[in-house]
Chain A
Amino acid sequence: MPRINLMGVRKSYGGGGPNAVEALDLEIADGEFMCLLGPSGCGKTTTLRMIAGLEHLSDGEIRVGARVVDSVGEGVFVPPEKRQMGLVFQSYALWPHLTIERNTDFGLRLRNVPRAEREARVTRVMKTLGIEAYRDRYPSQLSGGQQQRVALARMLAVNPEVLLLDEPLSNLDAALRLEMRAELKRLHREFGTTIVFVTHDQWEAMTLATTIAVMSQGRLQQVGSPNEIYDRPANRFVAQFVGNPPINMIDLAAGTPLAVSARRFLGERSPDAGAVGLRPEAIRLGGEAGDFAGPAEVTGVLPTGGSWIVELESDGAKLFLTTHQPPEVGPGERVRFAVRPEALHVFDRDGSRSAVADAAFAHGRMN
């Protein structure tokens, strides 16, 4: 039973621009940690705000549980204050005139929770998030990370069934971000809340999500588990957006020697192929029979601490490979690169993943 259901949702801000969100169908299951992932401006915030009821639909329908909260067709609209959700803003949006405690118990007061219970719940949430010491301070007296916790605490205090988070970690420094990521995951387990988390950071999405929805230019590109997204990207956009260093994409129409050899390698197995993607960690030096392989020259070796990025040039095309073994090659050396055929990501000329190629190559993919 899906918790949240978006059906044919479209959003236009008017003014003649393109739709911010286009024909969006998305199901978010109960208890899921769903990440909306995509580059800045792709419509993530808009989608989140539509779920919260803060932005109105131009078309389509949104359901939460069995309840229709938005329906342009049926003329139904449930205002945000009646949706019983939690939303953490990118800017935190703490109330500057209220203390941390009053910020946190605002929702409980609204619900007329008796004083004793209110205090107990507020204290518990504050303790969980480590902000109890700041009870009587005002938001302006806290650091960014602390404010962020208050913003979370404020929403968790009312124990919402759905928690919406809009890039809540983007204003934090790296160490704090890591810590908060772990904390969010723990909170998800502990409170069992359905979470929709917006981010443009693929690492954040990969590490946190149970399901990732990748968006681009207002359109949903793929929904799947982090592994699915990474291992079977549904189209060129997803393949190129997810992965660091990015996937090596060979455009078959480019006519370079590498493209020609890739075209020849695919042969009859994938007649409509338009591009082939090689994940950096799928490329090896050496290789065996049946691999897609070719000559290359090492142009650089970049240690990244525990792993290495080797920069190759094959007939003028750049390829990156990553390895966890110290590479025994140096700049200027001539080598042979190779990729197992089942590790190839083949995309048709329209950009979508080639089902024909997937079927033709063996299924035992590398992880």
Chain B
Amino acid sequence: MSVTSPDRTGAKAAAPARRLRYRLRIAASEPTTLIGLLMAALFAYLIVVPIVSLLFDAVQVQLGDQRRTGAEVGSFTWYYLERTFGSRVAHHLFWGPLVNTLTVALGAIVLAMAVGGTPARLLARTDMFGRRWFATALIVPYMLPAWTFALAWTTLFKNRTVGGQAGWLETLGFAPPDWLAYGRVPVTIILALHYAPFVILLFGNALRRFDSQLEDSARILGAGRLTVMRQVVLPLMRPALMSAMVLIFAKCLGEFGVPYVLGLPVAFDTLATSLYQNIASRQSGVAAVLAGAIMLIGVITLTIDAWLMREARRFVTVGSKGSMDRLSPLGGWRWGATGFAALMFALSVGLPLLTLALSTVMKVPGRFALDNFTLDYWIGTGLNTVALQTGILLSPDLWNAAWNSLRIVGIASLTSGLLGLLVGYVVVRTPFRPLGTFLRQVTFLPYLVPGIAFATAYLSLFAVPRGPIPALYGTWVILMLALIADQMPYASRAGIAAMTQLGKDPEEAAQVAGAGWLRRMVSIVIPIQKGALTTGVLLPFISGIKGLSLFVVLAVPSTDVLTTFSLRLVDYHYTQAANAVVLIIAALAYFGALLGQKLTRSNLAEGLGG
């Protein structure tokens, strides 16, 4: 193709081979594209390959199953699919847990809406006392690990169905029935309390942006309060509500700790716990099928969410300025509203934490006599228990687990934060667009896969040596890699946003001034992005510290982190010690979140995705 106009002298159009040389020269002049390609390979290996490997496991004969399937290891089989979905045990493996998962998730959604809707409205639109304080206080349940509440619940409601120490209510003379102590009811309630902050945040934000003139106009036209709510507010709020619901559903789907602690005693299984049990009993084929099913439901859910978000963009009228911050006066109800919020805080944060805290200093649960209190479980020595000879703070196991937690989660968060920024950099800077697109999409992939399914995928890939890579199962490396991959959606989203906002100009200015790539990174890009990087490291760190589902699949006793350690203590019925560890985790997560809020001066809500 000739591009020179005939009336001008100029270079002739270059031949394709020459043109390629020019492009290569450009690519070689700075490492952006090379780094991008390396990262693409890395993420393909850390994210895509495990998932593919998992899906293969679902249809290939696994080690030890040769006799049952009548085929060689690695050959194609329908056995696991058939066993999971169509056999006599299918109900036990999949359908029952599926129904439980769905009912618990739906119940939690409805309850969270009911619990969170009122405070959302109060916080966003009224002159209730202490609005600012409650705006933070009421999202605390989300900063704490969900199974903190599960442990508090068992501490209170436990009955003789399982061994170990008695629950408080039983000690006080009232033995709770099984339906109240374990299974569907408590799991639903706890998940609802844990995710109610979602409703408060998402619904509250939408309400805040909602133009109250819309309401006023309807009132002036003669509509009553209720009619306005039904015909104006709710329809406009629907996208935000739906989005909150879908997110809660997606979270519940992968939730492991709560149903594990509260479901096990009455054999109440969700998909996550069923998956865990299959892994524990080395049914890797069925586990792969279950993980695939969870993944599929996750993908469907988040596709619906993406679609809802697109729909929501049509309501652009929401958010005209001027009337945004107008609060409706509550008059005499001000104290009532404040009391309501306080009660909610007491029930969702105060009571559980207090219960846990007290339980760690009482010998017999629920007996409030002075001689029953002790600090032995924290700092005692010479205790007569098999596994723990000392109080938890003196136990090397705790410090070992804490060190593992900090080390693994710390390195993983730092790595994923830096990788996220690099992804952002490459996406914004590479002249080779498909590379940017691939990086953006591949790092988003783990978002669609609940942690426990993702961990299963890692198990599937790294349980045995593959090529130059030794078997990583049982080492802390696998935990770290899985955690990095699991955090990439948040890290890369933050990195891309930060780099897009920064734009190319500051870096190009340095480039023209004579700075090479490394120099630009060190003196310009990273210093400017310090804040974004801090957030990008801290938020994954918090969610990693309190994370359980990823570790429970991949950790072994020698690589125990705080969460798996406390779960092990639960299994041993060392209630006091388990609760103490959970309190430590909760404190770490909470203060980490506060620190994050201080450092970034932003609302955590946006970033706390994990």
Which residues of A approach B to under 8 Å, CB–CB? 7-10, 19, 22-23, 25, 52-54, 56-61, 71-87, 89, 91, 93-97, 106-107, 110-111, 154-155, 158
Contacts and interface: CB of A to CB of B under 8 A. Distances in A.
B509 A95 contact: yes
B3 A73 contact: no
Contacts of B29: 77-79
A77 B19 CA distance: 11
A285 B113 CA distance: 81
Given A8-B10, A23-B5, A72 B19 contact: yes
Given A7-B11, A8-B10, A25-B10, A81 B511 contact: yes
A54 B22 contact: no
Interface of B: 3-5, 8-14, 18-19, 21-26, 29-30, 431, 503, 505-506, 508-516, 519, 523-524, 527-528, 530
A284 B3 CA distance: 46
B509 A110 contact: no
A95 B508 CA distance: 11
A16 to B, nearest CB: 14
A91 B504 CA distance: 11
B30 A7 contact: no
A54 B507 CA distance: 11
Contacts of A73: 11-12, 14, 18
Contacts of A82: 514
Given A75-B21, A110-B519, A87 B14 contact: no
A107 B18 contact: no
A19 B513 contact: no
A54 B512 contact: yes
Contacts of A56: 22-23, 26, 431
A154 B513 contact: yes
Q: Which 5 A-B pairs have the closest CB atoms?
A: A8-B10, A75-B21, A93-B505, A79-B29, A8-B11
Given A106-B513, A110-B514, A89 B508 contact: yes
Nearest to A23: B5
A59 B3 contact: yes
A10 B2 CA distance: 11
Nearest to A77: B25
Contacts of A91: 503, 505
A25, A76, A79, A81: most-surrounded residue (chain B CB, <10 A): A81
Given A91-B505, A106-B513, A96 B528 contact: yes
A23 B2 CA distance: 10
A97 B508 CA distance: 16
B5, B24, B506: most-surrounded residue (chain A CB, <10 A): B506
Nearest to A52: B512
Interface secondary structure of B, over-half rule: helix
14 contacts: A10-B3, A59-B11, A59-B13, A59-B14, A60-B10, A73-B12, A75-B18, A81-B516, A93-B506, A95-B506, A95-B509, A95-B528, A154-B509, A158-B513
A81 B517 CA distance: 9
A22, A79, A83: most-surrounded residue (chain B CB, <10 A): A79
Contacts of B14: 59, 72-73
Contact of B11 (A72, A75, A110, A155): A72
Contacts of A95: 506, 509-510, 524, 528
Given A59-B14, A72-B11, A87-B509, A81 B4 contact: no
A139 B26 CA distance: 32
Nearest to A83: B512
A75 B14 CA distance: 9
Given A25-B10, A77-B26, A19 B3 contact: yes
Contact of A7 (B10, B23, B513, B519): B10
Contact of B506 (A10, A79, A96): A96
B26 A8 contact: no
Contacts of A9: 10
Given A72-B18, A77-B22, A87 B512 contact: yes
Nearest to B17: A75
Nearest to A6: B10
A224 B513 CA distance: 30
Contacts of A87: 508-509, 512
Given A8-B10, A87-B512, A95-B524, 8 more contacts: A8-B12, A75-B18, A80-B512, A89-B508, A94-B509, A97-B530, A155-B512, A155-B513
B4 A8 contact: yes
Contacts of A25: 8-10
B215 to A, nearest CB: 39
B11 A107 contact: no
A76 B22 contact: yes
Contacts of B509: 87, 89, 93-95, 154
Contact of A97 (B9, B512, B513, B527): B527
A75 B3 CA distance: 18
